[in-house]
Chain A
Amino acid sequence: MAESGVTDGLCNTDDIERSKTEGKELTKEEKQRLRKEKKQQKKNKEKNDEKTSHEGEKKKNKKKKEEQPAGSASQPPAQPSPKAVPAPAPPPPAAAAVPVPASEAPAPADKPAKSKADLKAERRARQEAERASKGKKGDVGQPAPTGKLKAPPSELQPVVKRLPEHVQVDNPEVVKKLAKKLERQQIPLRSDYGYKVSLFSHLHQYSRKAPLTQQLGIPSTVIHPAIVRLGLQYSQGIVAGSNARSVALLHAFQQVIRDYTTPPNEELSRDLVNKLKPYISFLNQCRPLSASMGNAIKYIKKEISNIPSQCKEEEAKIKLLNCIERYINEKIVLAAKAIAKYSIEKISDGDVILVYGCSSLVNHILCEAFEKKRKFRVIVVDSRPRLEGREALRRLVQKGISCTYVLISAVSYILPEVSKVFLGAHALLANGYVMSRVGTSQIALVAKAFNVPVLVCCETYKFCERVQTDSFVSNELDDPDDLIVTRKGKTQLEHWQKVPSLGLLNLVYDVTPPDFVDLVITDLGMIPCTSVPVVLRVKNVDQ
């Protein structure tokens, strides 16, 4: 059958091309032949699926032979029922393509021989048509009727990943979907605040003065009190910084697990994961989740689902609590120690180290190095509106390290003095880009211009499989009112909302390309920026 199809196809391509050039609409036969050709190409690739699809086609063939005597009129309505057996939804072109006896005089003669091939081609064409019409939503699974036909389409179609909803805020459908989901989970929707700069209108922008707890009942019953407290602390900035947020999140999850009781007729492994979903949505509404938090959540969910069903509730809970403790200990505390050990090798006496903002890991490294009696001094670079550098400065000076404090506008002035730059990271992306506090890429750029080595310190649990090459696509917009400052009793930006052409932008993160980063110090060792995907791959294999 395959060969006949091939030869037929070869003969007919000329016809088809002729008709194409003549501008005529392809007849149904020609369309069929085109599809056959495509099918042949696919067949060359999948030899395994032939056998399985043959069975499907045989079934279809039988049905087809039943259909034919029924007549053309009944064909379209009859389509749904037989098609339902192994087939996808029958769209009109395919239904019409299925032999409408009248128009295809030469076709019936070939019918028995070609039918299997036709069916397959038609099915594929239908799938492609559907996919093209549905656009980017990438419903790869839906057209594939059974597992048998799943492999061929997905291999050929470019796998379109769904865009996360938090970068599609300007798409009203996505917003509606999110609202519905939150309503189902009984979590209030936080509304955006203020005018958003057009380049970033696809991101959420919330106001700190409108906390999510306004819309929650006071003794919060839907959401565990520890999670409400955590959400408040996130949105008010009391818990800030990637490590702190992850630790606080895991602590809150510990409390949730402690207070959890399995409802009757439910399994802990499935029910607890479902319980955590609305909490995670709530925390996401309070402040978008960080990459480290995302990884921690994935780990917890995996641990919960791996609990065997015969495990008793108490044991399961203790096991989970220990898992969390271990995770924090390994990935955060011990990782910090390991990174400090590696970094200290890189710090020599007489060094002038530049740090930016307040990274808990970099502070830890510098304090450890100071304790190990290295002689160095630190330059702390800070930026508005967060002015986190003040906190870093306080911690370093408290230890006894001699520090200088500048604002980021003076970085090119101070860089000739600097011998090394240590930067912390919020996340390391799969293409080697470093996502960190806004301003980091500037520092790395200027340091590169001055030929000063830039070392990024990052634990492996912050490695993220996302790929980003610019800071626009996925970022976080903080409260624009933070930019308002009162000097000498005057607040110039107080009524910024009334000026129609004025928008305040308070970005939180930016991405630094790997060309500006000389070394990444992780708990696995010192790696170049481009080795991040290798680490991710190794991690996945381990898991």
Chain B
Amino acid sequence: MELQAVLMAAGGGSRMPDLTYNTPKPMLPVGNKPLMWHPLNLLERVGFEEVIVITTKEVQKMMSTDPKMKDVKMKLDVVCIQEDGDMGTADALRHIQQKIKTDVLVVSCDLITDVALHEVVDLFRAHNATLAMLMSKAHDFTETVPGQKGKKKTGEQRDFVGVDQSGKRLLFMANEADLEDGLSIRKSIMRKHPRMHIKTGLVDAHLYCLKKAVVDFLADNKSISSIRGELLPYLVRKQFSKTTNCPKSKDDADDQTQKTADGSTNSTELLICSRDEPLLQLAQERSCWNDHRGDMSEAYHGGKLRCYVHIMDQGLCYRVNTLAAYIEANRLASKLLEEPAVHPSAVISERCQMGPDSIIGAQCQVADKTSIKRSTIGNSTTVKEKVKVTNSIIMHGVTIEEGCNIHGCVICSNAVIGRGADLKYCLVGNGQQIEAEAERTNEVIVGTDQLMEI
């Protein structure tokens, strides 16, 4: 088998607490499908037949009941972990190390993209790389986010990504938070790659192809707990470190382990460097190809550990981990899905005005004289007469009474909007009730007391 897919669906959604305090992030509806359905759909389309899903018990329960998840024809091997949030993505990989038999493709549950996956995997295959990842040019979110007070903060720490001239080889990766004294690049890198492009406006899609040796390395190095935060920068740095380019024979490895303090890490570091078999070496020697020119070194500068990145400049790629991203993703979900926008079981009266880019879920009831534009309406939602819904996301089981005017809102499941309410840019939490004739603008309405089951 070539690749095993692993879906990380245990994340808490810490950056959008208002949405996720009742519904776990992987099950948030986007385009009326749970969020984790989208990466699973991508994997299924490409040809995977089995996926290992790492998630929490709560999500697993919800998965088994959700009808949309039953559409997924792949075999899902669900591994449950504790929800206390101490487990990072690398810890999760270490947890399932026994199940990993070949190279892995790690995907995050909040990735919505239409990338041609073969571009990433081809880099991984062709160059015998240790890591291949996907990044995308960040799009500015234009929609107004409910509950946002004041201008958009640029609090998001920037990522600095350095690539070589071809734009494929990953040379440098660091987050602004780690660069207190400024960005410093080692001379060895500059000698090997004199031209480096450093990009900051990129979004990491959290889609990684990793060699099996990396997973084994993780098993031995328990200090690494996050793939994105720790493992990746480590691998990128290790490409140019002296030990990896040194001898490949086992005897030397033993010598090195005796010399250094933490002997265990050294030998495992050498594990990751893809130890090319002698025939492959011979083929590379005889081949008249080089990945760079201008200096005296052979292809890849003789380095065994190589990291590659595929940067998408066209197409959709969203990480739904903030409210703004969530709204944007819902807006574009209709483009991604092949299903008809209006579910066949929805009851829609003829005098309803519906825009073309709205999605109506199953078993909805939409009464007369309503106007639904650029919105997503979840399953089993009731919309009474004379309601105007624009630019909003309405989740499942919501009741909207007559005469309401909802603009740019996110209304979570099982909420009830009273008659004649006028909501602009609000976020109504799960199971909340908005009283009649209420006028709210730019507010987040969540309940602190017990939630009501409708």
Q: Which residues of A contact B (CB under 8 A)?
A: 211, 213-214, 216-221, 225, 228-229, 232-233, 236-241, 243-245, 247-248, 250-251, 254, 328, 332-333, 357-358, 360, 388, 390-392, 394, 397-398
Contacts and interface: CB of A to CB of B under 8 A. Distances in A.
Contact of A225 (B2, B105, B285, B286): B2
Given A219-B47, A391-B289, 20 more contacts: A217-B46, A218-B2, A218-B105, A219-B2, A219-B48, A225-B2, A228-B125, A229-B125, A232-B126, A233-B126, A236-B126, A237-B289, A239-B283, A244-B288, A247-B282, A248-B283, A328-B282, A360-B286, A360-B288, A390-B293
Given A232-B126, A239-B289, A214 B118 contact: yes
Contacts of B121: 213, 218
A397 B284 CA distance: 19
Nearest to A325: B279
B125 A218 contact: no
B1 to A, nearest CB: 6
Given A219-B47, A392-B288, A394-B296, A232 B125 contact: yes
B116 interface: yes
Given A239-B289, A240-B288, A240-B289, A218 B283 contact: no
Contacts of A238: 126-127, 287, 289
Contacts of A245: 283, 287
Contact of B279 (A216, A219, A232, A251): A251
Contact of A243 (B122, B280, B286): B286
Nearest to A242: B286
B129 to A, nearest CB: 11
A337 to B, nearest CB: 14
Interface string B276-308: 010110111111111001001000000000000
Interface in B3-39: 3-5
Contact of B277 (A218, A220, A251, A388): A251
Contacts of A236: 126
B287 A239 contact: yes
Interface residues on B, range: 20 to 34
B161 to A, nearest CB: 23
B118 A397 contact: no
Nearest to A388: B288
Contacts of B128: 229
Interface of A (DSSP majority class): helix
Contacts, number: 106
Identify the interface centre among B105, B288, B289: most chain A CB within 10 Å of its CB: B288
A282 to B, nearest CB: 14
Contacts of A216: 47, 118
Contact of A397 (B5, B117, B125, B296): B296
A248 B121 CA distance: 20
Contacts of B3: 218-219
A241 B126 contact: no
Contact of B47 (A217, A254, A391): A217
14 contacts: A213-B122, A213-B125, A214-B118, A216-B118, A218-B2, A218-B46, A218-B105, A218-B118, A219-B47, A229-B126, A244-B287, A250-B279, A251-B280, A394-B290
B2 A228 contact: yes
Given A218-B47, A218-B121, A220-B2, A240 B279 contact: no
B2 A214 contact: no
Contacts of A247: 279, 282-283, 286
A360 B287 CA distance: 7
Contact of A251 (B47, B105, B117, B283): B283
Contacts of B285: 244, 360
Interface in B356-380: none
A391 B296 contact: no
A225 B48 CA distance: 14
A244 B48 contact: no
A248 B122 contact: no
B99 to A, nearest CB: 15
B286 A244 contact: yes
Question: Top 8 closest A-B pairs, CB basis?
Answer: A217-B47, A358-B288, A244-B287, A225-B2, A244-B286, A251-B279, A248-B283, A360-B286
Nearest to A361: B286
Interface string B36-79: 00000000001111000000000000000000000000000000
A215 B122 CA distance: 12
Interface in B244-292: 277, 279-280, 282-290
A220 B160 CA distance: 34
Contacts of A225: 1-2, 125
Contact of A219 (B1, B127, B283, B293): B1
